Amino acid sequence: MVYEERGEEPPSAYVSGWKGDVLDQAESLFTAAAEDQAERFEADNSMTVSTAVKEVAQWGSNWHFPEKTPFILRRRLLSERWEDLVGDKWPNSPLMGLSGRTPLEAAEEETSRIPLAAAVSVLDADGVVEKKYLDVSSVYKRLGLAAPEPIAVTEQTPLNSLSVMQLLRLPIAELSDSQLKDVYRRVMLIQHPRLMDEVLREVASRPTFLEGLGPETAKVYQTLAIIARDRSRHQEALEWVRNQTDFMKSADDTFQTGMMCELQELMLRLEDPSDPELKPLIRRLSENYVPKMPALRERLRQLLDSYNVPTEWLADNPTGVASEIASGTSEKQGIWTPDESGSTSGEPEKKLWLPGSE
């Protein structure tokens, strides 16, 4: 943490972190740079800021990416880091729950099957906290563990009261539409990435079920796109966004719906500045929508700047199908983001929420 001058206190900088080799290395680098201006600070009273299991803390570190690193590359590197943790570091790390043995060592002992399966569940839970997708079946296979037995579902099965561990054992594809609906509601609240992915894919494969969801169908496609994006599956994410666009336009093919769909696609394509479809998309937004929503131009410019995309891709003199604001209106127009407060002037406002601004 670096502080500017505060009142009578001079500018200052502090280094803190998890106790261990990483912090010791950071302290050495900081001390070498600051020379005789650095001093070690010891609190008079012990104060716990936060806690973490030691074996988990040693795997975690905050990565810093250069400002111009494309988001698609950041996600790929973070995915590779997660895969390295799951495929190499975790299997070879001594775990307290395994009496100090590594998962690969415990896998050699038949009596360790239950604690080893529990260790996999803990890894899965740690991944959920970080919104990571753990391919549990692959981990089981590597450790020689049998997959958990699926739960037999009947009309009397209390789906609304099952634990997360039990939900993970449900045969999702075998559920009836009414049963799937109960599980779908639970999963959307729990937000377990792997469980959400499985359930929502099943939902998306049932046209009758989707029809019953009505407008909520757009949320299904959007969530699947986010899961694919976070797994560094960019093209798959774009496919789900296209499905969302097709659904929304089939239900309401209006100017505003078209703009919202284009903006959803923009937020995804901006992650890859080399995407050949990005520039034409920006031009369409600039030419077709900015004339009617002038404030959109500045927000688009801010977005392009934040993703290191040339702002020159915006049309200089946008003209298009929506070149005039309907006459007779006195409403103020603009772009709304969730951190903005409402109007205080007493005048009615028409504002558009921009995806990705939250």
Predicted local confidence at residue 45, as pLDDT: 62
What does the block give as tokens for 200?
Answer: 């929502």
> DSSP for 56-110?
HHTT-------TT--HHHHHHHHHHHHHHIIIIITTTS--GGGTT--HHHHTT-G
Contact yes or no for 248/151 (Cβ under 8 A) = no
Task: List the one residue out of 85, 62, 178 whose CA is nearest residue 133.
Answer: 85
CA distance 309 to 305: 6
CA dihedral 126, 131, 136, 139 (to 10 degrees): -60
Query: Tens digits of per-residue pLDDT, 17-56?
Result: 777 788 889 999 999 998 888 887 766 665 665 555 666 6
Q: Which residues contact 331 (CB under 8 A, 6 or more apart)?
A: 347, 348, 349, 350
CA distance 331 to 328: 9
Q: Considering just the CA atoms, what is the radius of gyration of the chain in Å? A: 26
pTM: 0.76
The domain 159-164+174-353: what is its CATH number?
1.25.40
Predicted local confidence at residue 217, as pLDDT: 95
Contact yes or no for 192/129 (Cβ under 8 A) = no
Helix, strand or coil, per DSSP, at residue 333: strand
What does the block give as tokens for 173?
Answer: 């594809």
Predicted local confidence at residue 178, as pLDDT: 94
What does the block give as tokens for 321?
Answer: 């199908």
Q: Sign of dihedral through CA atoms 229, 232, 234, 239?
A: negative
Contact yes or no for 112/106 (Cβ under 8 A) = yes
Task: List the one residue out of 271, 272, 303, 273 whose CA is nearest residue 285.
Answer: 303
Residues in the chain with pLDDT values less than 50? 318-358
What does the block give as tokens for 6?
Answer: 């505060």
Contact yes or no for 261/246 (Cβ under 8 A) = no
Domain coordinates in residue numbering, the chain:
2-52, 71-143, 159-164+174-353
Distances (CA, A) of 310 to 278, 283, 295, 302: 11, 12, 19, 11
Predicted local confidence at residue 50, as pLDDT: 57
Task: List the one residue out of 143, 146, 139 whose CA is nearest residue 169.
Answer: 146
Contact yes or no for 313/330 (Cβ under 8 A) = no
Task: Provide the phi-psi class of 255: left if phi over 0, else alpha when psi is between -120 and 50, else beta.
Answer: alpha
